[in-house]
Amino acid sequence: MNDDYNSIITLYNNYYSLEDISEKVNKSRSVVYKIITKLIKENVLEKRVKSSNKIDHIILHNLDKSLGDISKLCNKSEESVKSRIYLLKRFNKIDKQYKVKLSNNILKSVSILDRSSIEWTEELTIRLKDLVSKHSLEKVSNILQIHPIDICEYLYTFSNISYYENSNSYIEWTKDKHDLLLEYYSELDINSLEKLLGFKWKKIFNRAKIFGLKRKFIYKTSRLESYFVDILNQLEIEFEAQVEIPFKTTKYYADFVCNSNIIFELQGDYWHGNPIKFPNPTDFQKTKIANDSLRKGNLESLGYKVIYIWEYDVKNNIEIVISKIHDALLPV
C-alpha cells in the first residue's frame, strides 16, 4: 500500500472531510472518494456511522415495540420516526406489510397499501357508501385499509353515484379517465397527459400520488432533470425520484433520494434565486429562498441531508456537481 493510501487512511480515521483529505494528498475529490470506497469494501477502513444510521439501527431492532417506545429509544419525535420508517420501507429495509404500533395499540400502516383481492360483502359495501358520502378517497382508503384503486374500480360498478356528498372528487374521474391514468401516467410527458385526461397537471399528479403511481423519469420535459439522471446513472449511483416524505400535517416531495437519507434538490436558477446569477433577488425570489430554507430545515430535522444542485452548475460545471454528489455520499 503506497504513501497516498496510508495518508488517506490516517486522515479518514481522524474524521477529516473529503475536501480536506483531497487537499492534503493533492488528489481530486473524485479520486479520493473512489479510494475510500474501495478501502471500505476491502475492510481496510470502517464506515463512519451517521446519526441517521444509528436511528435506523434502533428502529430495525425494535420493530416489535410501539411508536412511542421507538421514539424514546431514538430520542426523536414520533413524526421523525414515522418518516424514517416510511423511507426504510420505500428502500426495502423494512417489509412493506409492516405496521407500526401506536400508543393505543391501534395498527396503522405507514406505507402505500398493496392491492389485493377484496371480498365486497354487503356489510362492507354499505360501509363504503357511507364513508364516500363523507370523506375523500384517500381517507376512505386509510379507514378501510383497502387500496384506492380497488375502491375506485368497485365504485365504477355502480350505475348511480349521485348520493355521494363529495361527488365531484369521485365523478370527475370517470372509468375511462381512470383507465387512461393507470396506463399512460408513467409513459407520457406532462403536456400530453393534460390533453389526454382534460385536467391540469396538479389534479393528475394528486390522483396518481393517491394511487402510488410512479413516472419513469420525473418531469420528462425538463432537461435539467434528465441531465442529473444521466449523471447519477453514469456514476452508477442508485436513487429514487420524487420521494414522498411526511412532515407533521403536510408532505414534501424530494427530487432525488440516495442511501435513504441523502436528498438532492435541483434548483432552477431563476425560480430559486441562484446567488451567482441573481445577486440582488426579486421579491418573488426572496420568498422562494425563504420557503426553500424552511423546507430544508424541516427535512434536516427528520434526519435527512439536503444538497442543492443548481441549474447553472449542471449546465456549466459538471465537476462541481459530481464533487457535491461524492461529498454527500461519502460515508462520513
Q: In DSSP terms, which residues pair with 309 in a beta bridge?
A: 266
pLDDT attached to residue 220: 40
User: How far apart (Å, rounded) are the C-alpha atoms in residues 228 and 211?
Assistant: 27
Architecture, CATH, for domain 223-329: 3-Layer(aba) Sandwich (3.40)
User: How far apart (Å, rounded) are the C-alpha atoms in residues 294 and 290?
Assistant: 6
Domain chopping of the chain, boundaries: 3-41, 51-109, 122-211, 223-329
pLDDT attached to residue 73: 85
Convert the pLDDT of each residue in 165-194 to its tens digit: 455 566 788 888 888 888 888 777 777 788
User: How far apart (Å, rounded) are the C-alpha atoms in residues 11 and 56?
Assistant: 27
Rg of the chain over all Cα atoms, to the nearest angstrom: 23
Convert the pLDDT of each residue in 132-164 to its tens digit: 888 888 888 888 888 888 888 888 887 655 444
Q: Long-range pairs for 27-31 at CB < 8 Å and ≥24 separation?
A: 29/323, 29/326, 29/327, 30/322, 30/323, 30/326
Q: How many CB atoms lie within 10 A of CB 200?
A: 10
Q: Treating both helix axes as pointing N-terminal to C-terminal, what angle do 148-155 and 201-211 enclose, rounded to 10 degrees?
A: 110
Query: Is the full-model pTM beyond 0.85?
Result: no
Lookup result for grid cell 421523525: 80
> What are the backbone angles phi and psi of residue 62, rounded to the nearest 5°?
-140, 30
Work out the end-to-end distance of the chain between its first and last CA atoms, rounded to an integer number of angstroms.
22
Secondary structure (3-state) at 266: strand
Give pLDDT < 50 ranges for the chain: 104-112, 162-165, 217-221, 332
